[in-house]
A and B are shown apart, each in its own frame.
Chain A
Amino acid sequence: MAGKLSSELLRGSLDLMILSVLADEPMYGYSIQKRLADTSAGAVQLQAGTLYPLLHKLESDKLIRSKWEKSTGRSRKWYELTAAGNRRLNQQASEWHNYVACLKQLLPSINTISKSGLVPESA
């Protein structure tokens, strides 16, 4: 992927990204941030100031749950997906796949404009 994704694009899908990361295994906040950055090759750079309120909101909505553990000598808050979170993940992932499929249908006409400089009659 080339470059960071715009915040407008990210805004509607951050929940889904976090749920999908937690679907693999329980993680703590910093590791969630790293996983998103690594998996997206740097396109998704979720700041701490955005990540933690989002985690708390998902926990409040009972889509994820947390527990404190002292594994490395300090208390660390781990998050994992709940059954409701798993259902939401599947539902939202399905919606996104449909959305992407829909966009793919539209994208070729946009490519035509940018290459030839012509404006299609429908525009």
Chain B
Amino acid sequence: MSDHEFENYLTLIGRLLRLSRTQRQAIGEELRDHFESRLAELTGRDISHAEAVRIALEEFGDAAGLAAHFSSIAQTRKRRIIMRCTVASVTALAAAFVVALCLWPDTPAHKLIPHATADGTDKQPAEAVQKDLDKLVKAAQNLPDSLTAEKEAELNDQFGQFEFQGTPLTDVLDYFQNAHHTAEYYIDGPSLKDAGIDPTTTLVTISFKHVRLKTFLDLMLSPFNLGYHFRDGIMIITTHEKLDATLETRVYDCRDILAAYTGEFQQRTSHYLDSLKAPTQTPAASAGATPGSMLSQEPSAASPAMGPYSIPSGFAGRPRAADMPSATQTDDKVTDKPHTATDDLVVVITTAVAPQTWIIQGGPGTICDYDGLLVVSQTAARQSEVADLLEKLSARLSSRPGKSNDPAPGPK
């Protein structure tokens, strides 16, 4: 045996090790140092070089087994770090909640803190309110939500090359996780078992030279009616059925989008909605039809009658004139005002993203605003689409030179 055998051994271990390049190099260096020391000892005992190499190499054992040991230890360390981050996030959330409770106006805790203003009232100045809102947003960014957003961004930003031929799904996921250092994954065993899927015997055949990691996962999992969602940064592999039944709540900071609102869309929306004036449609009739129709709702005993183009009170958190007990009041608060920026944004989201999945169409998804923050409850897949849409809107609005040239929305 020659020294070359040991280099081959190290190369093999390097390929099998599911660690970063720095970690692989460090392990290789350490093992090489041991091998050379052991070799020197054995050859010092008048053992032939070839025999010494054989003995020293034998003492390392099987390369796959050794690589598996190292990988397993690194994975345990990673899991501990994720646990610590999760605990830290929860702690930060609790602290942010306490701070918000103390600083938010009109709470009992806030009233204990004296505020001096120019007019001598107890109201907080506008800048202070804005600061509090910024604090809330920052706190929201430290919620476990942000760990999920971080992991999703990783899948969106990274690309990879994949070649699998009849590889068990679990092996594909292991490779994916270790080769790209993405979030840890967890297989929803009970749901897969109910669907008759065994991830150890489900074979994957797929090949890409250059593909976005997110796309790879979607295309790899969908033939088996599987998908994934994140929870505290852990990727959970489960069935489509389970995903469609699992809602998650996310908070989107839309203040930049709302600040860029010019009101032009409002005028176009009004024109568009006017063009859709029709007898009130039932949800069944409106399903899958034009976007405008989703705004209509059959009057029921539970809610007052609403026009075909009025946004139900569930949106935007602001009641409409038709929703108030007495629609004849002339008080400004109940006058049927034009749509606000937030209303229009909600319309855009609920028409562009799977319209039939929102509560207005009998779906599970809800959306409401809180001072420029949109609180959306939807499935993971829809949340991704909402996030994507808002990102595009924000990018487009920020690069807009003057008036928008976008055509008015029309029926699909």
Q: Which residues of A contact B (CB under 8 A)?
A: 28-30, 33, 47-50, 52-53, 56-57, 60, 68, 74-77
A48 pairs with B33, CB closer than 8 A: no
| A76 and B33 contacting across the interface, CB-CB below 8 Å | yes
- Which B residue's beta carbon lies closest to that of A46? B59
Interface of A is mostly: helix
Known: A52-B66, A53-B70, A60-B74. 18 other contacts (CB 8 A): A29-B34, A30-B37, A47-B59, A48-B31, A48-B35, A48-B38, A48-B56, A48-B60, A48-B61, A49-B59, A49-B62, A49-B66, A50-B61, A52-B70, A60-B76, A68-B26, A74-B36, A77-B26
- 0/1 interface trace, chain B 217-249, chain A, CB 8 Å (1 if under): 000000000000000000000000000000000
Are B60 and A77 closer than 8 Å at their CB atoms? no
Q: A47-B61, A77-B29 are in contact. Are A52 and B34 (CB under 8 A)?
A: yes
Can you list 6 pairs linking A and B with CB atoms under 8 Å apart? A28-B33, A48-B35, A48-B56, A53-B69, A56-B70, A77-B26
Evaluate contact between A30 and B61: CB separation under 8 angstroms. Answer: no
Query: Which B residues are in CB contact (< 8 Å) with A60?
Result: 73-74, 76-77
| Nearest-CB residue, chain A, relative to B58 | A47
Among B30, B38, B77, which residue has its beta carbon within 8 angstroms of that of A52?
A: B30
**Contact: B73 with A56, CB < 8 Å?**
yes
- Supposing A53-B69, A56-B70 touch, asked if A75 and B59 sit within 8 A by C-beta, the answer is no
> Does B30 contact A77, Cβ atoms closer than 8 Å?
yes
CB within 8 Å: A-B pair count? 55
Q: At the interface, yes or no: B409 with Cβ under 8 Å from chain A? A: no
Q: Does chain A have a CB within 8 A of B65? A: yes
> Distance (Å) between the CB of B122 and the closest chain A CB?
52
Of B29, B56, B59, which is in contact with the most chain A CB atoms at under 10 Å from its CB? Answer: B59
Binding site for A on B (CB under 8 A): 26-27, 29-31, 33-38, 56, 59-62, 65-66, 69-70, 73-74, 76-77
Chain B residues, CB < 8 A from A29: 30, 33-34
**A30 proximity list for chain B (CB < 8 A):** 33-34, 37-38
Among A49, A57, A76, A77, chain B packs the most CB atoms within 10 A around the CB of A49
Minimum distance in angstroms from A84 CB to a CB of chain B:
14
| A52 x B31 contact (CB < 8 A) | yes
Residues of A within 8 A of B56 (CB): 48
Please indicate the chain A residues that have their CB under 8 angstroms from the CB of B30 in the complex. Answer: 29, 52, 77
A48–B76 CB distance below 8 A? no
Question: A77 — which chain B residues lie within 8 A by C-beta?
Answer: 26, 29-30, 33
**Which A residue sits closest to B62, measured CB to CB?**
A49
Bound complex: CA A47 to CA B27 (Å): 16
Q: Give Cα A50 to B66, complex, Å.
A: 8
